[in-house]
Structure 1
Amino acid sequence: MARSSERKRDITQAAAFVLPMLLVLLIFTLFPIFYSLYLSFNKVNLVGDVSYNFVGFKNFTNAITDERVIIALKNTLKYVVVVVPIQSILALVLATVLNSGIRFQKTFRSLLFIPTLTSSSALTLIFMFIFSLNGPLNSLLLDLHILNNPINYLNDQGSVMWAIIVMNIWSTVPMFMTIYLSGLQDIDSAMYEAADIDGANMFQKWFKITVPQIAPVTNYVVMMGLTSTFQLFDQPYIVSGGSGGPNNATLTLSLVIYQYAFRQFGTMGYASAIALLLTIAIFVVSMIFRHFSSENVTGEGR
């Protein structure tokens, strides 16, 4: 009986500790997911008389043929394809340099990590000033006689997304650099010593030892990059004022979901359908990358 009462008390105490987290998970994660799934199959009106009209897969078929969704998908894919490889490579290169024993490496680590500590909104406003018509970038290029006339980068359809790309690479590289640094410090130094004995140069050691040994970290960095870049929202929203302009050049999937959900009445269900499609796209791309990256790691292990 004593053991039974002790066991019940332990279970009660464990439940008391776990219950708050379970409630948070249920209310703020699981419930929104299932509610969004339910909305995606309905035409929803949340203003005035709330109504839910079941429409089946109509929201999904409309999303696939929606011109604005297709434009947003193209912009998002362009952003993903450019940002993820560049930020991953730059992060690894910077981490390698900072891990090589250069002078003032702790100071450089702290300085390079500052963008990660700054809010996304503040960074966006700073870069909007840099890329503005009378901003420092135009002034520098005019002084160097690279440009004859200033360029309004943020109001030009061909350059505004590239400005956002540059801004995001600059702000995200330090975080991934820190992740790489922790991985580099776990590589056995004996491998580099053996390579020195064999006469390997710096680049041979980097490509033959560092890159293969850091492959699991690279997989994590790329997966994190894919997940975050597919959900790009705040910078295009601030730069375009929520419109996705100029001429839909900054319209991303997350931004178009926001527009349909909160700027048009009666399209919350449609926005939920697009959000579900975005979730599926992120999952599929991540699983494809994970499949091929795990094959490469296994092949290298053999």
Structure 2
Amino acid sequence: MSGFAGLSETSSKVSRRRLRAWLGSSTEQAINGYLFLLPALTGLLVFLIGPVFYALYISFFHYSLLNPANAHFVGFRNYLQLFRDPLFLRALLNTSVYAVGVVPIQTALALFLALIVDKVRGKTLFRVAYYLPTVSSTVAVSVMFLFIFEPQGLLNRFLSVFGIHGPNYFNSTTFALPALMVMAVWSTAGQFMIIYLAGLQDIPGDVLEAAELDGAGSWTKLWSITVPLLRRTTFLVVVVSMIGSFQVFDQMYVVSGGNGGPVNSTLSVVLDLYNQAFLNQRMGYASAMGFVLFVIILILTLVQNYAIGREK
């Protein structure tokens, strides 16, 4: 009996040693893993998470970058003032109209281009051609469209061939925002075309073959099979496009010279936020504006997610 007891005790000691060795190696691996992640986590904390919480903090203050010592607590006054500010309301209206105009056209055009590129020869050439505007600088694209839409620009010269006298688009309260929409669709449709191409390649070929055997035509296959199976891809495209539309800044800044003109017709929420923060030195008010914009985008994203979930 004593021999069995000694053997059991020895086995227990060996097991404990193995457990300590395993825990030691696991702890060492964990420490090494966190050390490798430390630079990225530090950058995320310093340049993203920290500024977000600090912006939320100062959104409850009257705060100026040039005179931070005189900051004083105002509570929710910045948030309440937003909805009484005609400039912010105009910017929110412009941004909403811009998003409503850009997102559907952008999505439909991206799907159309993806369907074409997926079937033609020389796919790589067309992918590159359609995707090039996406990687171009937004400032360079804006300058190019300034040249196209100026009074003696390419578009008006083309219209003059048919006897049509085109306006000065970016100096017109009627045409400035639509011209910016055209610019946005042209410059970003290629990005979403690539996403749709990836979605098209995930559609099982046997499903389309079965539909053909049942006598389905190209149009029927598109609306009854392809489009429904691309529902999640479309959700991604619409959400990303909507977020980009509500955050539009570069194009409107370049085209209007930073003032959102003419007569605030190209003033976006982010451009108004920039002007309030850095020109008017109302950093607390601008931070409140940023968080209101965040809530609006979040609500729209959740509504779309709910709608897609119900369809599924």
Match of 2:85 in 1: 66
Greater mean deviation of Cα atoms: 212-221 or 192-201? 192-201
For 2:244 and 2:210, how far apart are their aligned partners in 1?
39
What TM-score does the superposition give when structure 2 sets the normalisation length?
0.91
- Two-structure CA RMSD over aligned residues (Å): 1.2
Q: Which residue of 2 aligns with 1:7?
A: 26
Q: Distance in 1 between matches of 2:204 and 2:26?
A: 46
Q: 2:52 aligns with which of 33, 41, 49?
A: 33
AA aligned to 2:154 is: P
Alpha-carbon distance change, 86 to 150 in structure 1, aligned in 2, over 3 angstroms: closer
Distance 2:47 2:152 in 1: 44
1:90–1:49: structure 2 CA closer, same or farther, 3 Å change rule?
Answer: closer
Which residue of structure 2 lines up, in the alignment, with residue 43 of structure 1? Answer: 62
Give the superposition deviation at 1:107: 1.6
Deviation at 1:246, TM superposition (A): 0.2
Matched residue, 1:164: 180
Partner Cα distance (2:156, 2:23) in 1 = 76
Moved over 4 A (4+): none
Counterpart mapping for 1:14-25 below 5 A: 14-25=33-44
CA distance in 2, matches of 1:293, 1:286: 11
In the TM superposition, residue 292 of structure 1 has moved relative to its aligned partner by: 0.7
Cα distance, 1:3 vs structure 2: 3.4
Give the whole-Å Cα distance in 2 for the aligned partners of 1:4 and 1:111: 55
User: Which of residues 140, 143, 147 in structure 1 aligns to 2:161?
Assistant: 143
Match of 1:208 in 2: 224
Question: In the alignment, is residue 277 of structure 1 matched against residue 297 of structure 2?
Answer: no
Quote the residue 1:300 is aligned against. Answer: none
Alignment of 1:191 with 2:227, yes or no, is: no
Q: Does 1:260 align with 2:276?
A: yes
For 2:233 and 2:300, the matched residues in 1 are separated by 18
Match of 2:262 in 1: 246
Q: Secondary structure at the match of 2:303?
A: helix
Q: Extract unaligned runs of 5+ from structure 2.
A: 1-19
SS in 1 for 2:63: strand
SS of match in other structure, 2:260: coil
Distance 2:26 2:132 in 1: 50
More moved, 189-198 vs 214-223: 189-198
Counterpart CA distance in 1 for 2:80 and 2:232 is 38
| Equivalent in 104, 126, 133 of residue 115 of structure 1 | 133
Aligned length: 293
Equivalent residue number for residue 110 of structure 2: 91
Distance apart, 1:105 and its partner CA: 2.7
Task: Report Cα offsets for 1:253-279 as digits up to 9, x if no partner.
Answer: 0000001000013x1101111111000
In the TM superposition, what whole-angstrom CA distance separates every residue of 1:201-244 from its partner, at most 9, and x where no partner exists? 11111000100011111111111111111101110000001000
Larger Rg: 2
**Deviation (angstroms), 1:171:** 0.8
1:98 Cα offset (Å):
1.2
Deviation of 1:144 (Å): 2.2
Distance in 2, matches of 1:122 and 1:162, equals: 19
For 2:307 and 2:32, how far apart are their aligned partners in 1? 44
Tell whether 2:311 aligns with 1:292: no
Length-normalised TM-score, structure 1: 0.94
Match of 1:127 among 121, 145, 151: 145
Q: What displacement does 1:2 show?
A: 3.5
